[in-house]
Structure 1
Amino acid sequence: MTETKSSNPASAEVWITGIGLATSLGEGLDAHWDALNQRRINVDEKSFAPHIVHPWAPINLDTQIPKKGDQRQMEAWQRIGTYAAGLALESAGIKGNKEILARMDMIVAAGGGERDLAVDSNILNLEAKGNSAPGFLNERLMNDLRPTLFLAQLSNLLAGNIAIVHGVTGSSRTFMGEEAAGVDAARIALARIAAGQSDIALIGGSQNGERKDLLVLYEFGGFNLKDKFVPVWARGKNGGFALGSGGAFLVIESRAHAEARGAKPYARLTNVVADMARRRHPGEVTSALEGLWSKLGKLADKGAIITGATGAEPATSEESAFLGAHPGFAVRATGTMFGHTMETQFPLGLALAALSLSRGALFPPNDPTGLEVEMSTPPTQIVVIGTGHWRGEGMALVEAIR
């Protein structure tokens, strides 16, 4: 087991003041709240059969990315993220506020970017036909790929496009590392604000799950859910994840900064902790989660948990064992409703936790196994869990502000 990393919150209280969601369930907070309460799920079992995806809901990009030229030079994952970031800034009441945006920090969790499938396919077809002279591959890569592509799009292009489109021009960091990247984006942003090194930050990520190259990549590891959609907890030992398209961004800031500009909070981000179990022996994920739980802070005997559990094994079974040791907490798995959005899964959990606390209710369960139960009382604390399908564990404590 590696050493647990914590945000180590100091005296500065940190608020979540903006939430931007653009996923398979739609865009905006009201649309998501309605969909969650109606137990709606948007799944495509045919387009990438036998693989299952949660496709991005149709939206009008012009409302957050007004220039067509900006839209054209982005691939789908960048458009999704830039759009969700705009929604978060709008939600926080700072969209277009040049003074705040100029000093606003940004931490983005991003994957390796999208490949150019047309170029890849052409190269493979010519190779198969024997039409590949010496230097053929380098020539094709240099001549066919756009300047923004280096085998795949650079991961920091999302942050760059958010800066260009929305004017967020403070410090910028891009973290890679699948689910763990989303945990660390929140952990480090919280630590910086709590320590007085930053006043306000934009954090989050995005994913386009409707990618043949990504589906092939995860098929090599045996991670994809195939043939028929099943809720996360019902997938069993032969389970896997259904990739989801979506973007989730949050604006977090010190309480003093928020109050000075008259901003109203959705919730308080109290702590974020992370670990990386070696996963060489059964039970190590369960043990890691118990360790993180003990470091979150003072927890009530009963509460709520929003988890990004993937459905992939053995991580999901070991997380289920951890959840079974805390029966007083009502669980909700985002993977059932949204699919698995990889780097975005933890920011998505934070966003849904803050939304639930601000609405004074936990959205209903969407699970046939009985692991998820109703919660009739308004939650005051929600623990967000991120257990990576292959590596990395994280938790956050999000609390109501009364």
Structure 2
Amino acid sequence: MRDVVITGVGLVSCAGEGLETHLAALAAAGAPNTDTASFEPFQVHPVVPLEWDRQIPKKADQRQMEAWQKLGCYAAGLALDAAGAKEDAALKSRMQLIVAAGGGERDYAVDGQILTGLRTAENPGVFLNERLMSDLRPTLFLAQLSNLLAGNISIVHGVTGASRTFMGEESSGVDALRIARERIASGQDDIFLVGGAYNAERPDVLLIYEMGGFHWKKPYRSVWERPAEGGGMILGSGACFLVLESREHAASRGAKPLASLAGIASDRSRRQPGSVEKALHGLAQQLRARPEAVISGATGVQGITEEERAALKDIAPEAAVHATADLIGHTIEAQAPAGVALAAGLIAQGKAAEALVTSVGHWRGEGAIRLTKA
């Protein structure tokens, strides 16, 4: 099996742009930038303003993308820059792409008109079908497809190898990384661009998570403090992409690795009391993890957050534990890639020789990722 290394990171969030900026914010340990007014009573961590032209030069490309797609394209460009691959057309022509994605965004005006009309419609079913047929443009359906992010990255950045899109909340980020790593380690492929993006500033997703009772609506607290007061998560807008390649491939083109991706394991427990703690113990044992630093994807949701904290005390009693949600908010599909980016950065800075990244989904899916010094 070949070693798999991380040679490029692209990261944008409420904490800023780029890996160094995020590591500085992680060290400062302050509360993340939070917007409590725009979607009251819900709060979000909004992404910092970005100069889109730097990574998406054509205005036409920018206009046809939704916010999450622009974030993903921007972060992908940053990762290619960091890996020294942006100007290498031949390399990008065989670079493979895996995107962790949710659904597309909505036309809120049309949604509102349809919901309002349904209240008084004589035949709601007929009314709904007629309005869906006449009011929703075919191009809107296309824009909502999750694999459009992968398509836009291919168009904007010229990454034209095989492309895959994974859906499934937090687990999709874990499995996108896992599949890329396993294909490189087995010798099937040499280099991948992998990541995800999330736009938290959307009324529709805020409504969905409110119906599930997942929001934290009290004054800001760390994810570790929220369970004592009922628990909940604060969503964050952002994106993270990583360039992964075999050690030999990186050496052949003079790319310096940040860290080695030593192993990735995922699970899906039934979420009975104690199941998350048991799952994390099993994943850490499978990876033979002995971390000096932990980057946790804990959400702050009651029950599972306390179980993760208890498991980490057993798995890594001496390790410093950082929660990505306390830095960038909870970015769903992008959470695991962002955790890996931060862990790789800490290793590259010499602050740890081994790190463990955890991903416990807000209602399903568990994952763990082990990184070591390159």
TM-score of the superposed pair, with normalisation by structure 2:
0.95
Q: Which amino acid aligns with 2:145?
A: L
Q: What residue in structure 1 maps to residue 260 of structure 2?
A: 268
Among 157, 166, 173, which residue is 1:166 paired with?
157
| Structure having the larger proportion of residues in helix | 2
Q: What residue in structure 2 maps to residue 100 of structure 1?
A: 91
- Structure 1 unaligned spans of 5+: 1-10, 362-378
Q: What residue in structure 2 maps to residue 313 of structure 1?
A: 302
Q: What residue in structure 2 maps to residue 47 of structure 1?
A: 38
Among 275, 278, 293, which residue is 2:284 paired with?
293
1:102 partner SS: helix
Counterpart check, 1:17 vs 2:7: yes
1:318, distance to aligned residue in structure 2 (A): 1.1
Counterpart check, 1:303 vs 2:292: yes
Counterpart check, 1:71 vs 2:62: yes
Q: What residue in structure 1 maps to residue 345 of structure 2?
A: 355
Q: Distance in 2 between matches of 1:124 and 1:354?
A: 46
Q: What residue in structure 1 maps to residue 327 of structure 2?
A: 337
How many matched pairs? 371
1:391 partner SS: coil
CA deviation profile, 1:283-329 (whole Å, cap 9, x unmatched): 111111100010113x44x6111010000122111111112223122
Among 27, 30, 48, which residue is 1:37 paired with?
27
CA deviation profile, 1:252-294 (whole Å, cap 9, x unmatched): 0001111111111111111001111111x31111111100010
Contact 1:115 1:152 in 2 (8 A): no
Contact 1:278 1:284 in 2 (8 A): yes
Among 106, 111, 130, which residue is 1:115 paired with?
106
Among 77, 93, 110, which residue is 1:86 paired with?
77
Q: What residue in structure 2 maps to residue 369 of structure 1?
A: none
Q: Distance in 2 between matches of 1:132 and 1:81?
A: 41
Q: What residue in structure 2 maps to residue 370 of structure 1?
A: none
Query: Bigger shift: 131-140 or 91-100?
Result: 131-140
Counterpart check, 1:186 vs 2:159: no
Q: Distance in 2 between matches of 1:129 and 1:152?
A: 30
Q: Distance in 2 between matches of 1:152 and 1:70?
A: 12
Q: Distance in 1 between matches of 2:125 and 2:198?
A: 36
Q: Distance in 2 between matches of 1:132 and 1:169?
A: 48
Cα distance, 1:164–1:146 mapped onto 2, change above 3 Å: farther
CA RMSD of aligned residues (A): 1.6
2:161 partner SS: coil
Counterpart check, 1:27 vs 2:23: no
Q: What residue in structure 2 maps to residue 322 of structure 1?
A: 311
Q: What residue in structure 2 maps to residue 246 of structure 1?
A: 238
2:34 partner SS: coil
Q: Distance in 2 between matches of 1:143 and 1:72?
A: 23
Q: What residue in structure 2 maps to residue 226 of structure 1?
A: 217
Query: Bigger shift: 226-235 or 141-150?
Result: 141-150
Q: What residue in structure 1 maps to residue 360 of structure 2?
A: 387
Counterpart check, 1:57 vs 2:48: yes
Q: Distance in 1 between matches of 2:54 and 2:220?
A: 32
Contact 1:45 1:228 in 2 (8 A): no
1:151, distance to aligned residue in structure 2 (A): 9.8
Q: Distance in 1 between matches of 2:138 and 2:97?
A: 24
Cα distance, 1:146–1:265 mapped onto 2, change above 3 Å: farther
Q: Distance in 2 between matches of 1:354 and 1:134?
A: 52
Q: Which amino acid aligns with 1:259?
A: A
Contact 1:148 1:154 in 2 (8 A): no
Contact 2:7 2:82 in 1 (8 A): yes
Q: Which amino acid aligns with 1:266?
A: L
Q: What residue in structure 1 maps to residue 186 of structure 2?
A: 195
1:241 partner SS: coil
1:152, distance to aligned residue in structure 2 (A): 7.8
Q: Distance in 1 between matches of 2:195 and 2:270?
A: 26
Q: What residue in structure 1 maps to residue 128 of structure 2?
A: 137
Q: Which amino acid aligns with 1:254?
A: S
2:194 partner SS: strand
Q: What residue in structure 2 maps to residue 175 of structure 1?
A: 166
Q: Distance in 2 between matches of 1:138 and 1:92?
A: 49
Q: What residue in structure 2 maps to residue 367 of structure 1?
A: none
TM-score of the superposed pair, with normalisation by structure 1:
0.89
Q: Which amino acid aligns with 1:354?
A: A
Q: What residue in structure 2 maps to residue 278 of structure 1?
A: 270
Q: Distance in 1 between matches of 2:147 and 2:157?
A: 16
Q: Distance in 1 between matches of 2:124 and 2:224?
A: 52
1:341, distance to aligned residue in structure 2 (A): 0.4
Q: Which amino acid aligns with 1:59?
A: L
1:15, distance to aligned residue in structure 2 (A): 0.7
Contact 1:205 1:343 in 2 (8 A): yes
